[in-house]
Amino acid sequence: MNPCQHFKKHIGKYCEGDLDPLCLKKLEEHLRVCSRCRTLKDNIEQMRICLKQLPDVKVSEGFNLLLRERIRREAIGKSPGTYSTGGRLLIPAMGIALLVLIIGIGVSDQNSSLTSGSLGYRTVAGESEGDFLPFQGKIQYIIEELPSASAVRLERRNDSREPSNSDSMVGSHPPVRVRAIPVSF
Amino acid sequence: MLNISTTSSSTPSDEELIARFQDGDTYAFEQIVMRYKAPLVNFVFHFLGSRIDAEDVVQETFLRVFKNKHLYRNIAKFSTWIYTIAGNLAKTELRRRKRRRVLSLSKMGFEDKEYDIPDFLSSPDQVVDGEMKETKIRNEIQQLPFKFREVVILRDIKDLSYEEISRILKIPIGTVKSRVNRGRLRLQKRLRYLLDQ
Ligand SMILES: [Zn+2]
């Protein structure tokens, strides 16, 4: 093995003072005559200093609170569904919910007795009857239950069989019930 | 009967804390969290390069410690155990990212081609100092192949002994030493222009 290769192989031990005396003597003799290996040694030593001096990142203030919440949720058997994981759980749920809503709205458009504005969306978080689901902006709700479009259609069909005037139809139509639970972090 | 922790020094050891937690003392768990959250977040941050992701991985680590406290046996150091969990979760996260990247690339059509934003730090001609130097070093650590990255982080940043690294990674000490050496050589090659300044 050429002396530079030999030095490269043992530079780790050399820097950490982990070499046997014979090997150390050999490497030091080589260092005296080889500027390339000297530079390599200096660079590695300097790099190790830089690595040790890398400043620590600061942990978020809400870390403990969030952990407590995750543990609490785990204890009651709910999946954590954190937003910080990139919404891995929320995004598919939102997608499905949105799709069902679009179908629901499409169905309501076809039904002349209903206008889209007459659909009542109930959000548990806001407790405001008639509000639309806050799908825009930040994702901050876990969708708990959502009726399928066919269930909505079936409900409507049942309603239309009942004798009633068109005005009361709008009012008596059961709203699409969506239960949205705000996540607390 | 006297509790072991009350007879020892005022600062309980990790092993004493986990033993107390195994006996149902949740305050001991909180102390473990306080003791380890910053070192673990920093450890994982070197792998992932994102503080938010690192915190998420560390949250999961603590959650697993909480759920699986009974699995810890006092034959290994607690730090080895918790670093192993965090390291494995970081590895899983990296694998997940890789899969996601492959998936999004395979979905990418000709029209969708993403153009790389030139990295102003990648030019060796730049004068790099302070924060830029730090960013550059962090970036280069992340460019190392995983098997070198993990040993360099554990040895040169976290200052763990070779024995401890060997236990965490479950590889022989000789392999750890050889990987540390090769990892340092690779990193030095990439950072040479910074180190020469
Ligand atoms: Zn040489």
Q: Could you state, in chain order, the average pLDDT of each consecutive group of 10 residues for chain B (197 residues)?
A: 47 94 94 96 93 96 94 88 94 87 59 40 52 88 93 94 94 95 95 79
Q: Determine, yes or no, domain membership for A185.
A: yes
pLDDT, tens digit (0-9, with 9 covering 90-100), for A123-134:
233 333 333 333
Domain with CATH 1.10.10.10 in chain B: 120-197
Domain contains A165: yes
Chain-chain contact of B41 with A54 (C-beta, under 8 angstroms): no
The answer to whether residues A47 and A94 belong to one domain is: no
pLDDT at residue A103 in the model: 62
According to CATH, the topology of domain B120-197 is: Arc Repressor Mutant, subunit A (1.10.10)
Mutation site for A-interface testing, chosen from B64, B176, B181, B186 by largest number of A Cβ within 10 Å:
B181
CA B46 distance to own-chain centroid: 6
Per residue, the 3-state secondary structure of A59-116, as one string, reads: CCCCHHHHHHHHHHHHHCCCCCCCCCCCCCCHHHHHHHHHHHHHHHHHHHHHCCCCCH
Residues 6+ apart with CB under 8 A from A160: A113, A169
Judged against a pLDDT cut of 50, whether residue A179 lies above it is answered with: no
Q: Residue A147's domain spans which residues?
A: 90-185
Could you tell me if residue A59 is inside a domain?
Answer: no
> Residue A112, Cβ neighbours under 10 Å: how many?
7
Interface probe, candidates A9, A37, A57, A64, chain B, greatest B C-beta count within 10 A: A57
First to last CA, chain A: 60
| CB-closest option in A48, A56, A74 to B156 | A48
Residues A94 and A8 in one domain: no
Does the CB of B59 have a partner CB in chain A at under 8 Å? yes
Number of separate domains in chain A:
2
The closest CB to that of B188, out of A10, A13, A44, belongs to: A44
Backbone angles phi, psi at A122, to 5 degrees: -105, 125
ipTM: 0.76
Q: CATH number of the domain at B12-105, out of 1.10.3720.10, 3.40.640.10, 3.40.50.300, 1.10.1740.10?
A: 1.10.1740.10
* Comparison of pLDDT for A138 and B127, the residue scoring more: B127
Same domain for A43 and A98: no
Using an 8 Å CB-CB cutoff, list residues of chain A that contact chain B.
8-13, 40, 42-44, 46-48, 50-52, 54-57, 59-60, 63-64, 66-67, 70-71, 74, 80, 82, 84-85
A66 belongs to a structural domain: no
Q: Are B195 and A47 in contact (CB under 8 A)?
A: yes
pTM for the full predicted model: 0.62
Chain B residues with beta carbon closer than 8 angstroms to that of A67? 33, 59, 62-63
Report if residue A124 sits inside a domain.
yes
pLDDT digits (tens, 9 = 90+) for A35-65: 999 999 999 999 999 999 999 999 999 999 9
Nearest CB among A42, A50, A84 relative to B52 is that of: A84
Record: contact A12-B184, CB cut-off 8 A: yes
Residue-level pLDDT at B90: 94
